[in-house]
Chain A
Amino acid sequence: LLLILGTPVEIQRPRGVPLTSKKPFYEENKPFTCLDGSRTIPFDRVNDDYCDCKDGSDEPGTAACPNGSFHCTNAGYRPMFIPSSRINDGICDCCDTTDEYNSGAKCENTCKELGLKERDVLQKMAEITKEGFLLKQQLIEEAKKGREEKQGKVTDMQENKKQLEEKVEALRTVKETAEQPEKEAKERHLKAWEEQKAAIRLEKDKAKMAEAFLELDDNADGFVSVSELQSHAELDPDADGTLTETEVQGLMGGAAQVDTSTFESVWTNIKDKYHSEVSREEEPAPVETPPEEVKEPVVDNDSEPFPEDDISEEEDEDEDDEDDYHEDDDKVRVYITQKTGASINFSDLSFDFGPDAEFTYLYSQCYELTTSEYIYRLCPFNRVSQKPKYGGSETNLGTWGSWSGPENNKYLVMKYEHGTGCWQGPNRSTTVKLTCGKETVVTSTSEPSRCEYLMEFTTPAVCQEPANMDLLPHGHEEL
């Protein structure tokens, strides 16, 4: 408007005073009263480079007052206040250069550029939010379906269980009837059954042994050494809390290292106590799995939050024995429990997957980020880990703790705690910050403090309903 008039209108106000809010208090040629009302001074003492008002209000345009602030209009960008100590300090703070009017600093007006950039960023963010929010709706929908399905499954399972129990009852009756006359047959059968079981066990044991060997052989040199075995404190024979080198040598029958063939004898010594370090999740997990594929979760055995009864490995073995009426009662009961095993997953029905269960899709997924040194892995609601890129064992950076965002939205931050302990330090922990994005990705990791990790993670699940698009700044400029 001013330009249209074609006359250069100088807005009369002291330097550093905002046009809108405070200008009326600075009236030229009238005594100035400090904004805190503490005193009144002649107007020529406003901006005279000497601080008269305790609140700093007489020097809005100089650095004289320790608590003053300076207003830059920043036409083309955002107006702002800076502490008056930044006036003429040789550093360009205001993009319109008005803070450096007497310091010799060479400042360029960058407001237009910044304004454009900001609008660009805001626009992009708006787009992301919009799309993200749509995706979030889908996630909510899927979570809802999944929930219903699971509810249905529970019902089915319960039904199934009932039927099985009836079947057992029937089998038992048959068994009891048959028992007496067929004692001999039973014995024969039992023997065969035992043999078969032993064979299966042997095979399983071998498989376990092979697996254990690979796990133990940290440096993958084809040998398990004393030091490699020593890392398994649970093998401590005298359970005094330390697994000494001598003890390990005992377990290893005096050998310094064993290869796969000689490992068998070692395995006999340790298999009862041996705990696997890693579990099946070692298989590469999908870095990002689309939500619809989330039917068979990548099970992570280390996870505690959902106490899944381990689906027993003997499940397969008994699969075909259904009609074996020599089955003893316990077996039958075990079998039943196994068949309804899925039910333990129903504990997640009560888990906090967000107000609309929009975070459900993250459960049992893992997301990785590779940096120059490490591969970081976030398995939401489960754990965060770090593994050296070029070999070496995995470090637990924390297991699921809680949502711990700010009060107004706790779902913006996840906290993972009680990871591997640090030397002279705390146990490792990770804070995961969630931001709105179309994709579900770990975007960065850092370790601001020793053993306290920070991860940034984008997901549509935190996208808020976009504000009215019309409210976006469209080149609104204050003059």
Chain B
Amino acid sequence: MVSLREVCGIIIFRWVPLIVLLCVSARAVDRSNFKTCEQSAFCKRQRELKPGRSPYRALLDTLELSDSRITLQLINDNNKVRLLLELYRLQGNMTRVKINELKPLKPRYEVPDVLISDPITETLSVVSQDENSLVLSLGGKDQRLIVSAQPFRLDIVEGPQVLVSLNSRGLLAFEHLRARKDTSISHKISSTVGSMWDSLKKEEDKPGMWEETFKSHTDSKPNGPSSISLDFSLPGVEHVYGIPEHADTLKLKNTDGSDPYRLYNLDVFQYELHNPMALYGAVPVLISHSTDRTMGIFWLNAAETWVDISSNTAGKMMFGKILDFVQVSSEAPQTDVRWISESGIIDVFIMLGPKPADVFTQYASLTGTQSFPPLTALAYHQCRWNYNDQEDVKSVDQGFDEHDIPYDFIWLDIEHADGKRYFTWDPSKFPQPKEMLQGLMDKRRKLVAIVDPHIRVDNGYKIHNEILSKNFYVKNKDGGDYEGWCWPGNSGYPDFTNPEMRAWWASKFAYEQYEGSMENQYVWNDMNEPSVFNGPEVTMHKDALHGGWEHRDVHNLYGLYVQKATADGLVERSGGVERPFVLTRAFFAGSQRYGAVWTGDNAAEWGHLKISIPMCLSLGLAGISFCGADVGGFFKHPSAELLVRWYQAGAYQPFFRAHAHIDTPRREPWLFGPENTALIREAIRQRYALLPYWYQLFYNAHRTGYPVVRPLWVEYPNDVATFSIEDEYLIGKDLLVHPVTDEGATAVTAYLPGKGEVWYDVHTFQKHDGEQSLYIPVTMSSIPVFQRGGSIICRKDRVRRSSSCMENDPYTLYAALNSQGSAEGELYIDDFHTFNFEKAKQFVHRHLSFSANTLSSRNLAPDSQFSTASWIEKIVIIGGSQPSSATLKNAESALEFEFDSTLAVLTLRKPGVNAAADWTVILR
């Protein structure tokens, strides 16, 4: 909930009249506030460099080989600057390539705290070596890493196939740190430069190397140029995905002739759809996919980054040693990717797949998996900027009960705090926060209060004074405390890159520190890009200082640290017992470990509803599963139809929260007439009934790193028809959802994947064959959802007013049979909110399978222990035949059943067994 433009609205009334002049009303993003590649000096310099012969040469005689890595020096023949190349073979089929200056003038930034540990290395052995090449074994199926010396390039091959080539287009460019020269002369020379290499040879400066001005902001660049770039070619690849966050298609577009995709965490007011502009978060992970192989490239760099993507034909760039290895078809398609970052080093992880699941596992082994949220966080969230006061909170809470609509969380935005001083409460609007929280707790519900990282500069504010006295603020280039404008007016920004600062921040969430807080209160970190209303591109000056590092180096990491410190605080306040729940707007690789993200300040428009699907799918591919978009749209007022459709879509997205801008009319679910209230109620109830499935998927995501919601191609990697689909997706592998995202739609066309697969409409149990496009008439009552034949999904069909109220309720099993008449699924149960599942192995994990007319529940985790009151109340077998009897084997008792012969649905009445028990039902 943010932005410069909005703030202007507020400033007009409250603060500086001068700023008013900047604030003409705008309907969409003001692009001029944000840089294009052309306006970002390093991007411009780098992009001017065109593919060609690389000036870099590997000095094979500098080769050093140890068990865990090899190192080599590279030399730029134009300027004789030497680089150090490190190559690692990592456990799990990954290769790490690091390139730094051999002797940098001062250390260059290497991103800390993103990798969960030092990756485990495997032996990299030399297979062969000649004067111009080095062949290393990556193990496995004839996988080789070929180092070509002149020009320098790296190729990873498997048998006769090139998987990926580095610097094959000669775009490795490493701006070495240098001493500043007399700038007045050097600027003049630069006008007629043919190529970058010529200019580098002369060691001349180009504009923007030592200072850069954008709008009224000057970046002092005391360290001069420091950007890096490297190209990757992917033969045989036509589809690449990932590098969130962009409001764009799932499949990444060719960026020839447009700007590259930009990764630079920014608070973009009223963002536009379908363009490569940077948004609130950045995960520098790109996934490539073809019917042959799925791979990933993880570019570990937290500075401003641009990614160019272009299509090419494989073979054009093949020469030298690798021709000994590979068969090249010049007709084969190829995708070229080029990464450009402003500072730091080249540190890239090539995840070699080969299957989608392997890439997820590989990436998770580096940056960790999705945190396992408390169940309640997967339920429905009701938010608005702002619920005005305690009375308002109470009446909205009552409204949900009066209209019999479940919800778990009510949210408070910035107005709840006393003068936007986070960790406090407005004394007149929220005089008794504990009373309010207790009221919610009595209903088994929760609250989220926002805590943003900008701190009001006010010597009457305890938090500010402590940060000041501990010297925890980010510094400006001159060493004073950095100050910028944000919601409270003049604000300081704590240096979250400092571990001491983070520990202190975490301690502020202790109940005795955060007055008025209680255990059913959770946290939301907004504005953590960080947003600085009067800063360049609405963010922090790049020459601001975080200890010894410039903001330039750490920018994309700031938001991750804010969420980490907050999540740590929530864990600590419970003595390490409770799982935290923290929502963040800014994020980076690894943010999945700390909670949920949302897609920021969208708008009540059909296009925004539509784009929420690829946006969250892209995030899932890059490790962040717990994603959602503001239901209803943040800006503007949705029509009743759009709102209903958004609830229906949101109910099937991982993070399900309605939110609205302060200037929009109220839109609680019951304000659009009884018919729409009923439709919204039904959508939310469908979410609650499916919570056991969501919970089990998050448990698995936490264990394996598999995304919770997946593009179709992830489960059907050989079905080319699925590769560009972004209007439908899978939840886990068993539910296919096709939200309705067009106004007035009376039908949708859904693609049901999988040859030989069958799909059942979950609303009607109607059966459809896979590998077909299906025309489905729709009404307002629901959106198309299909269960895969061959799956068993557990639901809780007794929907109550909050998920906590449903904890002990019985399960209904929906077994949808495949063409072989079998199905399988899982059931996961624990206490739904603590770490005991991990620390004390207190959980139930069952494998459910149906085959040969026998349905049984088997323990998947024999060494775990947990007792649940939940039992199995009903079993629905879809797509089977009518039995003559059904017996619960354990009790040797006959089960009553009903069979609907038109739909082939068998319902077994009340098996009554405990959900944690072993049991078998036999049909005859």
Q: Does B662 contact A (CB under 8 A)?
A: yes
Asked if A85 and B799 make an inter-chain contact with CB atoms under 8 angstroms apart, the answer reads yes
Contacts of A91 in B (CB 8 A): 442-444, 801, 805
- Stretch from B231-239, B279-287, B663-671 that touches the partner: B663-671
B800–A85 CB distance below 8 A: yes
Interface residue? B251 (CB, 8 A) = no
For window 779-826 of B, CB contacts with A under 8 Å fall at 797-801, 804-806, 809
Please tell me if the beta carbons of B801 and A85 are within 8 angstroms of each other in the complex: yes
The verdict on A193 contacting chain B, using a C-beta distance below 8 Å, is no
A109–B663 alpha-carbon span in the complex (Å): 44
Q: Are B798 and A66 in contact (CB under 8 A)?
A: yes
Distance of A64 Cα from B442 Cα, bound (Å): 23
Chain A interface extent, by class: 20 to 34
A83 to B801, CA, bound (A): 10
| Cβ of B703 under 8 Å from chain A | no
Report Cα–Cα, A422/B873, bound state, in Å. Answer: 54
Determine whether the beta carbon of B12 is less than 8 Å from that of A66: no
Interface string of B862-884 (1 = CB under 8 A from A): 00000000000110000000000
Q: Is A29 an interface residue (CB 8 A)?
A: no
CB distance from A107 to the nearest CB of B (A): 11
The answer on a CB contact under 8 Å between B663 and A66 is: no
Chain A residue, CB-CB nearest to B445: A91
Whether B575 sits at the interface, judged by CB under 8 Å, is no
Q: How far is the CA of A220 from the CA of B388 in the complex (A)?
A: 32
Most chain B beta-carbon contacts within 10 A, residue among A63, A64, A66, A85: A85
Q: Does the CB pair B797–A66 fall under 8 Å? A: yes
In the complex, how many angstroms separate the beta carbon of A31 from the nearest chain B beta carbon?
Answer: 15
Q: Is the C-beta of A90 less than 8 angstroms from some C-beta in chain B?
A: yes
Q: Roughly how many angstroms separate A422 CA and B664 CA in the complex, as a whole number?
A: 11
Indicate whether A449 reaches chain B with its CB closer than 8 angstroms. Answer: yes
A450 to B635, CA, bound (A): 13
Bitwise, B1-45 to A at CB < 8 A (1) or not (0) is 000001001001000010000000100000000000000000000
Given A86-B801, A446-B388, A450-B662, A424-B910 contact (CB < 8 Å): no
B392 contacts A by Cβ under 8 Å: yes
Q: Is A63 a contact partner of B428 (Cβ separation < 8 A)?
A: no
Decide: A50 near B388, CB < 8 A? Known: A63-B809, A64-B873: no
CB of A176 within 8 Å of the partner chain:
no
Given A227-B17, A424-B663, A450-B664, A372-B428 contact (CB < 8 Å): yes
* Chain B positions within 8 Å of A297 at CB level: none
User: Given A50-B873, A83-B404, A227-B17, are A424 and B798 also a contact pair (CB < 8 Å)?
Assistant: no
Cβ of A425 under 8 Å from chain B: yes
Residues of A within 8 A of B798 (CB): 63-64, 66, 85
Dominant SS among interface residues on chain B = loop
The chain B residue with its CB closest to the CB of A65 is: B798
Q: How far is the CA of A452 from the CA of B667 in the complex (A)?
A: 13
Whether a CB of chain B sits under 8 angstroms from the CB of A448 is yes
Partner of B12, one of A372, A373, A423: A423
Number of interface residues of B (CB under 8 A): 31
Q: Does B221 contact A (CB under 8 A)?
A: no
Minimal beta-carbon separation of B667 from chain A (angstroms): 9
The reply to whether B805 and A449 form a contact with Cβ atoms under 8 Å apart is no
Bound CA span A227–B16, Å = 12
C-alpha spacing A132/B767, complex, angstroms: 67
A42 and B6 alpha carbons, distance in the complex (Å): 65
User: Nearest Cβ in chain B — how far from A223, in angstroms?
Assistant: 16
B909 CB-CB contact with A under 8 Å: yes
The reply to whether B9 and A424 form a contact with Cβ atoms under 8 Å apart is: yes
Contact pick for B663, options A90, A227, A451, CB 8 Å? A451
Give Cα A449–Cα B660 distance, bound, in whole angstroms: 10
Q: Is the CB of B9 within 8 A of A90?
A: no
A452 to B805, CA, bound (A): 35
Q: Which residues on the A side are within 8 Å of B428 (C-beta)?
A: 372-373
CB closest residue in chain A, given B871: A49
Q: Which residues of B contact A425 (CB under 8 A)?
A: 663-664
Chain A 429-457 per-residue mask, 1 if CB under 8 angstroms from chain B, else 0: 00000000000000000111111100000
| Interface presence of A89 (CB below 8 A) | yes
Assembled-state Cα–Cα distance A84/B799 (Å): 10
Contact between A90 and B910 (Cβ–Cβ < 8 Å)?
no
User: In the complex, which of the residues B6, B388, B801 contacts A448, with contact meaning CB atoms closer than 8 Å?
Assistant: B388
A63-B800 in contact (CB<8A)? yes
CA A430 to CA B329, docked complex, whole Å? 73
Chain A residues with CB under 8 Å of B444's CB are 89-91
List A residues 7-53 near B (Cβ within 8 Å): 48-50
Chain B residues within an 8 Å CB radius of A83: 404
Q: Which residues of A contact B909 (CB under 8 A)?
A: 50
Q: Which A residues from 50 to 66 make CB contacts under 8 A with B?
A: 50, 63-64, 66
Q: Bound state CA distance, A451 and B388, in angstroms? A: 13
Docked pose: A347 CA to B797 CA in angstroms: 64
What residue of chain B has the Cβ atom nearest to residue A52's Cβ?
B909
- CA gap between A449 and B661 in the complex, in Å: 10
Alpha-carbon separation in the docked complex, A452 to B671 (Å): 14
By the criterion CB–CB under 8 Å, are B443 and A447 in contact?
no
Q: What is the bound-complex CA distance between A450 and B666, given in angstroms?
A: 8
Q: Are the C-beta atoms of A86 and B800 separated by less than 8 Å?
A: yes
A218 to chain B, nearest CB (A): 12
Given A63-B809, A227-B17, A422-B663, A89 and B800 contact (CB-CB distance below 8 Å) = yes
Other than the given A64-B873, A89-B806, 20 more pairs (CB < 8 A) read A48-B910, A50-B910, A63-B798, A63-B800, A66-B797, A66-B799, A83-B404, A86-B800, A89-B444, A89-B805, A90-B805, A227-B17, A372-B428, A423-B12, A423-B663, A425-B664, A446-B388, A446-B392, A449-B666, A452-B665
The 7 residue pairs across chains A and B that have the minimum distance between CB atoms: A423-B9, A89-B805, A425-B663, A372-B428, A449-B666, A450-B663, A85-B800
Report which B residues bind A (CB closer than 8 A): 6, 9, 12, 17, 25, 388, 391-392, 404, 428, 442-444, 662-666, 797-801, 804-806, 809, 873-874, 909-910
- Residues of A whose CB lies within 8 Å of any CB of B are 48-50, 63-64, 66, 83, 85-86, 89-91, 227, 372-373, 422-426, 446-452
**What are 12 inter-chain pairs, A to B, with CB distance below 8 A?**
A64-B798, A85-B798, A86-B801, A89-B806, A90-B805, A91-B801, A422-B663, A423-B9, A423-B12, A448-B388, A450-B662, A450-B663
